[in-house]
Structures are given as C-alpha cells and as structure tokens.
Amino acid sequence: MRNAGQSNEEVMRQVYALHARALHSYITKRVDGDSHLAEDLTQETFLRASSHLEITSAEVADLRPWLVTVARRLIIDTYRKRATRPSEQSLELAAHDVAACNDQSDNIIQMLVLKEVFGILNPAQQEALFSTHFYGYSSSESAGLLGVSPGTVRSRTFYALRSLREALADT
C-alpha cells in the first residue's frame, strides 16, 4: 500500500480523506443513525487499517471494499456485545416498550409483506437495491462495492423496483 517515499501517516491521511465520509455514512445507516457509535466504529475501522498497512498491497483507492468489510464486522461485534449484555431497564421503560409494540402491529405486518416480496428478487438485485436505496450509495459507489459496472447497478435496481411494484400490486 505504501507509495515510495511516503510514511504510514501520509498513506493513512490519503486513505482517510478518500474513504472516511462514505464509510461513516455506511456505518451510520447500519447502526440506526447513532452518530456517536458510528464515529467510534469509523475510528476503529481506520485504526485497524493503520495496523494492517504492511499486510495489504492494495492501492489507496481500492481499499473501500476491505474497509466496509472491517466496518461490517465491527458493527456485528457491537450488536453481539449488546445482545449478550442487555442494558437494565426500569419497569416504566418496559411498559412503554410493550405499549409501543402494540402500536406497531401495522408496521410489523407491512414488514412481513415487504420481506416476502423482497424474496422474489435475485441476490444481485437485492444487493443493488439495498446499496442504492437503503444505504444511499450512488450507482458508481455501489458498483465499486459490488464489483460490477455502474450500468449494471442501475439495470439491476430498475428491474428490482419493477418486480417489487408488480408484486405489491398483486398483494
């Protein structure tokens, strides 16, 4: 990864300048908008990248898929830690959660319908649709993450949306 004559710090500055914004956006969406957690996970991702500078031989611009993989694993680890050590809640909060669940029954039904409808899409269409519409990446950014051309991402997204519209019209 290191270019001739560049220190680790200079290389990391380049990596950070090129990938930090997109990576932070990706992480923020995956942690339900928790900006503090997203910032912590973004920093941890770049910290891990800096400790592996000698291991990888990729160019600075080609590191985003690797950084996203590291971030995804950190997010999973964070959720696992939270699941094994749940926070304490008062009885009032628990009662509020139960009331909120009762109010969410329509949302649950909608989610079940959407889950079933998303099942008709092939995995490539699902990846393209999630990347562009749920994670907010452009076709070019999605193409880089998925390893296909931007036109392929646009095509898969178009056909996925068309299939969803048809399936939802039938339900």
Helix (H) or strand (E) holding 93: helix 91-103
Burial class (CB in 10 A: 0-12, 13-18, 19+), 23: buried
Mean pLDDT within 158-165: 89
Please state whether the predicted TM-score (pTM) of the whole model is above 0.85: no
Mean pLDDT of 40-49: 89
Task: Look at residue 79 and tell me if it is in a domain.
Answer: yes
pLDDT-derived band at 2, boundaries 50, 70, 90: very low
- 21 lies in the same domain as 79: yes
Last residue of a domain, one of 32, 65, 84: 84
pLDDT tens-digit map of 122-161 = 989 988 888 888 888 899 998 998 899 999 999 999 998 8
Provide the residue range defining the domain that includes 97.
92-166
The token pair at 45 is 């991702």
Does residue 80 share a domain with residue 18?
Answer: yes
Among 84, 112, 141, the domain-final residue is: 84
Q: What's 73's domain CATH number? A: 1.10.1740
Q: Which of 51, 84, 117 is the last residue of a domain?
A: 84
In a domain, 129, yes or no: yes
Does 2 fall in a domain?
Answer: no
Confidence check: pLDDT of 71 > 80: yes
Look at residue 101 and tell me if it is in a domain. yes
Q: Can you tell me the distance from the alpha carbon of 144 to that of 64, in angstroms, rounded to the nearest whole number?
A: 8
Amino acid found at 57: S
Cα 123 to Cα 119: distance, rounded to the nearest angstrom: 9
Residues listed for the chain: 171
The whole-number pLDDT of residue 58 equals 53
Average pLDDT, the chain: 79
Whether residue 25 is found in the same domain as residue 57: yes
CATH label of the domain that carries residue 155: 1.10.10.10
On whether residue 103 sits in a domain, the answer given is yes
Do 74 and 52 touch, CB atoms closer than 8 A? no
Whether residue 22 is found in the same domain as residue 78: yes
Is 128 among the domain residues? Answer: yes
Of the pLDDT bands very low, low, confident and very high (cuts 50, 70, 90), residue 57 is: very low
Q: Is 66 exposed, middle or buried (0-12, 13-18, 19+ CB in 10 A)?
A: middle
Lowest mean pLDDT among 61-75, 76-90, 148-162: 76-90
Q: Which two tokens stand for residue 132?
A: 């562009």
- Number of domains forming the structure of the chain: 2
Which pLDDT score, from 0 to 100, does residue 121 have? 86
Give whole-number Cα distances, 106 to 71, 73, 103, in Å.
33, 32, 8
- Note the pLDDT of residue 54: 62
